Amino acid sequence: MQLTYRYRIYPSRAQEQKLLATLDSCRWLYNHFLERLNRKENGKTPRRYKLQATLPKLKRERPELKQVHSKVLQMVLHQLYSNLRSLAELKRNGRKVGRLRFKGRGWFKSFTYNQSGFGVTKGRGKRRELRLSKVGAIPIVLHRELDGEVKQVCIKRERSGKWFACFSVEVEELQKAEKLSKPVGIDLGIEHYIADTNGNLVGHPHNIVKSEWKLKQEQRRLSRKKKGSRNRAKQRVRLARTHERIRNQRLDFLHKLSRCYANHHDLIAVEDLAVKEMMESTHNGKNIADSAWSKFLFMLTYKAERAGGWVVRVEPRGTTSRCSRCGEVVEKPLWVRVHRCPKCGLELDRDLNAARNILQDGLKKIGWEPAEFAPVEIEPLPARASAVIETGSPAL
């Protein structure tokens, strides 16, 4: 299994200038090879290794390329051909796609050291040094130890001006359990971010709603600045940092929540949601986007697999209306938050009823017997019942 560990690095001013020069050289090389691909010599797209063989000649023509590690230049070609494969795959799936665009100044964000040209100093504590060929030793904060064999490191510059190092490592995948002892079904929603079959209700953080006023304020200030001025560039960074803080709050919540479920359950049944279609077809698109359900399911899947568990995705249609005890279909509008079955008399929160149906469908999908649930009497729901404590300020 391949994992990525992300750490913040703190280059000096001289090192940052080298990093920026490396980014600009990679951007020029990307555009150069993209232009050659667009020309299609002899009507055919040249192979990657044929273009890679021209790198020594390009170094002689442009001496600034000699200040960049050879593996970094080779990975630019790898990135270009990877983008081409992604477009071809989308086209095969029936999507309408265009051509790759040339990278303008400031639009090339990262470069990669593959297999060689990098290393982390050994020692104790969080503060170490990341050695990069042609750049130097950059201070790095290892808030957790690297687990596994490091294959490559990607240096990335965010729009806020911060620099990060992303290490790709290989770790051994744990063997999945033969018997299920702690299965759980979870229902994702807006009012409650998660309702599970254990009766837990996790409140929605609503990060965008809490920080919307700050975003509007920074955006208005940016719109008043003169284009091309230094004040506009400074304000753009302030706006980027506001977006970054909201993103960090969201990721913090998702990481802790997914880790909690991956550690305590060996099978997790979830809905196979079409999030993009839901955002386009409803009037609640902003809250759905803020929920980041696709990101949460991605985190939950790889963390559960690493812990030796399963994540089973089931068809979401009918999970809310179907009674989890007798199977009777009870249609109800969105504002009705309680499921009341006229056939068997079951009465409980609609999200908990959906979570039970999701778990039953998940167990059927893998060939296990559906779970039986004890009768539950409806009670006033707590305002927030969560095993997750989110760090940081809820508002800016």
Helices (H), the chain: 13-39, 48-52, 55-61, 70-92, 207-224, 230-264, 275-281, 285-291, 293-306, 350-365
Question: In terms of residues, how long is the chain?
Answer: 396
Quote the pTM value: 0.83
N-term to C-term CA, the chain = 37
177-221 pLDDT, tens digit per residue, is: 666 678 899 999 888 899 998 888 998 999 988 999 999 999 999
DSSP 322: B
Confidence at residue 42, expressed as pLDDT on a 0 to 100 scale: 65
Band of the pLDDT at 394, cuts 50, 70, 90?
very low
58-67, 149-158, 301-310, range with the lowest pLDDT: 301-310
Q: Which of 127-136, 293-302, 317-326 has the lowest mean pLDDT?
A: 317-326
Query: Does 391 score more than 60 pLDDT?
Result: no
How confident is the model at residue 338, as a pLDDT?
Answer: 86
> Angle, to 10 degrees, between the axis of helix 230-264 and the axis of helix 293-306?
50
pLDDT given for residue 383 in this prediction: 39
Averaged over 55-66, what is the pLDDT? Answer: 93
Residue 376 has pLDDT above 50, yes or no: no
Residue 213: C-alpha distances to residues 58, 193, 222 (Å):
50, 23, 14
pLDDT, position 178: 63
Model confidence at 380: pLDDT above 70: no
Helix (H, G, I), strand (E, B) or coil at 142: coil
